[in-house]
Amino acid sequence: MEIIEINGVNYKGKADELLSRGENDFSKIDRIVYEILDNVKRNGDKALFEYTSKFDNVILKELRVSENEIDEAVQIVGEEFIDILKEARENIESYHKKQLQDSWITNDKEGIILGQLIRPLDRVGIYAPGGKAAYPSTVLMNGIPAKVAGVNSIAMVTPPDKNGKINPYILAAAKVAGIDEIYKIGGAQSIAALAYGTKAVKPVDKIVGPGNIYVARAKRAVFGLVDIDMIAGPSEICIIADENKNPKFIAADLLSQSEHDEMASSILITTSKNLALEVEKEVKRQTMESERKEIIEKSLEDYGYIFVVRNIEEAIKISNEIAPEHLEIMIDNPFEMLSKIKNAGAIFLGEYTPEPVGDYFAGPNHTLPTSGTAKFSSPLGTYDFIKKSSLLYYSKEALENIKDKVISFSQAEGLFAHGNSIKVRF
């Protein structure tokens, strides 16, 4: 990891460099994606079976995962792990229930009722990656908020392995999350199936969940016809620490992010040069012992930094500029600094709240804004699975009271039929 002493100027360039990770020309990938989308739109299930044979190397008889397959997966995973999944579900449910909002109406003025109706989306699709990136936590974190929001039906798509099987942890998590239908479809073709619908797969209103670049570009392409969640970039952690904090803890937390992939970024911002040196040493030591050594070394080399700053205010200023996905604050009295933290996906306070506790278990969502988008985006939540409608009622008298003002306004805009819709009533 590179240690950089910040003089109050040079951090901006570093922040920009981090934020532009993964900016690319996608035109080649898009051509392939558009072809797949178009083929599924025209040929439905036939195209889905063909792509599964081509990309996943398996000839399926059925796209939908059977109840038997799900029960089998639950057996394989075992009771102990099912109980952990259920406890995680309870925590995730409990947190997300607090995000729910009620519809409201108001009657501040005689004869006028205004309001806002909040309704769940009718049907949602979840993409769950297969292979090495098959994470049961992703299934919980996408499925449970939709369920809590009141979504009527939830379909999950995930690529099968070459034997036509789905990772049992994924299936068990889907069962625990209460997902209604599961299909053995991956890649851009699964996004097409969810967006356009086929004979086997009913179309959805929104598609969520992480995937590879083909999935991400396909989601972007169907956005508008259906809604999509944010398209996540590489993962990030930023740790703000003052002196006398434990370098072992800090190093372990940096590594927990770096192991995700080679593009992941891990940053420590500290007021203590001494701590910076100790963390650097500890990072090297822990990396040597790590199961995912190659990935960690590469991501730390490219996107790992230790910034030494003059004071905590400066550390927070840099962190606000980076707008990290995960922000750990390991300083004395971390709660006192909260009002200064402007941009971060999730904030972990104190020395005993390591980021992984939020990935699986605590309750808040692990789908978080990356690449600086925490400046304007939020964690996935129940608010992503509802839509609002405005409600207006005017009595005849209430409309009469304001009619001239509305007519004046419509004339100022040159929209005379707008004014006429008022005039015609009196």
Interface residues for a second copy in 153-172 (CB under 8 A)?
Answer: 169
- The C-alpha angle with vertex 144 and arms to 142 and 146, in degrees rounded to 5, equals 75
Q: Which of 12, 284, 310, 388 binds a second copy (CB under 8 A)?
A: 388
Closer CB to a second copy, residue 60 or residue 422?
Answer: 422
Q: Does 296 bind a second copy (CB under 8 A)?
A: yes
CA 323 vs CA 110, 242, 285, 380: distances in Å? 46, 19, 29, 16
Q: Does 143 bind a second copy (CB under 8 A)?
A: no
72 as an active site residue: the answer is: no
Q: Does 260 bind a second copy (CB under 8 A)?
A: yes
Cα gap 226→126, rounded to integer Å: 13
Q: Does 401 bind a second copy (CB under 8 A)?
A: no
Q: Are 45 and 190 in contact (CB under 8 A)?
A: no
Q: Site size for a second copy, by CB under 8 A?
A: 119
The crossing angle, in degrees rounded to 10, of helices 213-222 and 187-196 is 20
96 as an active site residue: the answer is: no
Report the site for a second copy in 341-360 (rule: CB under 8 A). 341-360
Q: Does 241 bind a second copy (CB under 8 A)?
A: no
Q: Which of 236, 253, 278, 280 binds a second copy (CB under 8 A)?
A: 253
Task: Tell me which stretch binds a second copy (CB under 8 A): 5-13, 177-185, 211-219, 393-401.
Answer: 393-401
Residue 357 corresponds to which tokens in the numbers above? Answer: 């506790």
Query: Taking CB under 8 A as the rule, which mask of x and - marks residues 36-65 in contact with a second copy?
Result: ------------------------------
Catalytic residue among 259, 280, 325, 328: 325
Q: Which of 11, 49, 51, 135 binds a second copy (CB under 8 A)?
A: 135
Give pairs for 77-84: CB < 8 Å, separation 24+. Answer: 77/168, 77/169, 77/172, 81/169, 81/172, 82/172, 82/176
Q: Does 258 bind a second copy (CB under 8 A)?
A: yes
Q: Which of 11, 249, 303, 305 binds a second copy (CB under 8 A)?
A: 249
On whether 411 is known to bind a ligand per the annotation, the reply is no
Query: Where in the sequence numbering do the catalytic residues fall?
Result: 325-326
